[in-house]
Amino acid sequence: MVQYIFRRILIAIPVLFGVTIFNFLIINLAPGNPVDMYVSPDVSVADIEIKKEALGLNDPIYIQYWHWLGNLLKGDFGFSYSTYEPVTNMIIERLGPTLILMGSALIIAYLIAIPIGILSATKQYSWIDYFTTTFSFLGVSIPHFFMGLGAIYVFAIMTQILPTGGMNTLGGNGGLTDTLLHLIMPAIVLGTGIAGSMVRYVRSSMIEVLGQDYLRTARAKGLGEFIVTNKHALRNALIPIITIIGLDIPLLIGGAVVTEQIFQWPGLGQLTIQSIGSRDYSVLMAINLLAAFMVLFSNLLTDILYSVADPRIKYN
């Protein structure tokens, strides 16, 4: 296992290098540049050219890439073109709220999806199965922005139970209770959407396992249905479920762009929207690279969890 992990890390290095190339090219080949945001009647063409020269935007793109890559290898993501803050500081400041929101949403999704998926599989073709199937379709079909706006209207405007958005109340103490109140709506909106798709995977995986001969043997030995289902069947159904969880892990970093914007949650998703609007290339490249790293990490973690869930899986 240790040798396998080491090889996977070695393979990830050239993959990340390729990601830096495509990341830089795609963003820098987009129409416009950061200096276009400064265009106004008070700014002359000469001033714009001086600004481009100062930012290195007049250099050939391969020169710009080598400068950016050299700084990246030193742990320096550069500075923001719009706020002139170090990109590293901006990422760290927004990373915490995104981890809180996405972590809460994923926990809510799994707490909903796994029990409901198991129940739907054990009650196949019953009214419970049809009800849970309808729930999963609704969770997948309803867009997050529509569900978010509806939640704001019902719980923040009509009943005024929850705040409309943000992470803390303006002028408040910013305590844990205040943060939790602001977290409830965006976390549930995101968690419901993720749970909707995951219910189907859990149900399908459990149905396939529940028909196996070894479970009939376990029942014949007198084991209770709860132990048969939740101990023996669930563990053998975990492989597809782990795959889906591995695909969800990068969401912890990438955030939910639409949901964070609707609820004004100060995470990486909202920072992404702001950076796109201001053509802040250095921030966008840092976020994309961080997301790519998280994808590679989640793939490795998924492979490790396969062997934990099923001891028959061995990596040579």
DSSP line for the chain? -HHHHHHHHHHHHHHHHHHHHHHHHHHHTSSS-GGGGG-STTS-HHHHHHHHHHHTTTS-HHHHHHHHHHHHHTT---B-TTT--BHHHHHHHHHHHHHHHHHHHHHHHHHHHHHHHHHHHHTTTSHHHHHHHHHHHHHHHS-HHHHHHHHIIIIIIIS--S-SSSSS-TTS---HHHHHHHHHHHHHHHHHHHHHHHHHHHHHHHHHHHTSHHHHHHHHTT--HHHIIIIIIHHHTHHHHHHHHHHHTTHHHH--HHHHHHTT--SHHHHHHHHHHTT-HHHHHHHHHHHHHHHHHHHHHHHHHHHHH-TT----
- In the predicted structure, residue 37 carries a pLDDT above the cut 70: no
Q: CA-to-CA distance for 89 and 91, rounded, in angstroms?
A: 5
Q: Beta-carbon neighbour count of residue 285 at 10 Å?
A: 22
**Which of 183-197, 208-222, 243-257, 297-311 is predicted most confidently?**
183-197
**Chain centroid to CA 31:** 27
- In the predicted structure, residue 309 carries a pLDDT above the cut 70: no
Q: CA-to-CA distance for 242 and 246, rounded, in angstroms?
A: 6
Of residues 164 and 174, the one with the higher pLDDT is 164
Cα distances (Å, whole numbers) of residue 295 to 10, 213, 249: 15, 37, 8
226 Cβ contact partners less than 8 Å away, ≥ 6 residues apart:
none
Question: What is 96-309's CATH number?
Answer: 1.10.3720.10
Q: What confidence tens digit (pLDDT) does each residue in 252-280 have?
A: 666 578 888 888 888 888 888 888 877 88
Percent of the chain with pLDDT over 90: 0
Q: What confidence tens digit (pLDDT) does each residue in 56-87 have?
A: 777 788 888 888 888 888 888 888 887 888 88
Domain boundaries, the chain: 96-309
Q: Hunting for tokens 């053998």 — which residue is that?
A: 236
Q: CA-to-CA distance for 194 and 191, rounded, in angstroms?
A: 5
So what's the pLDDT on residue 40? Answer: 60
Q: Beta-carbon neighbour count of residue 63 at 10 Å?
A: 11
- In the predicted structure, residue 53 carries a pLDDT above the cut 60: yes
Kindly report the average pLDDT of the chain as a whole number. Answer: 80
Q: What confidence tens digit (pLDDT) does each residue in 125-162 have?
A: 888 888 888 888 887 788 878 888 888 888 888 888 88
What's phi and psi for 79, nearest 5 deg? -130, 160
pLDDT band at 315 (very low <50, low <70, confident <90, very high): low
pLDDT band at 51 (very low <50, low <70, confident <90, very high): confident
What integer is the mean pLDDT of 84-112?
Answer: 88
pLDDT band at 211 (very low <50, low <70, confident <90, very high): confident
Percent of the chain with pLDDT over 70: 90
Cα–Cα–Cα angle for 288, 243, 265, rounded to 5 degrees: 45
Per the rule left: phi > 0, alpha: psi between -120 and 50, beta: everything else, 265 is beta
So what's the pLDDT on residue 252? Answer: 64
Query: For the whole model, what pTM was predicted?
Result: 0.80
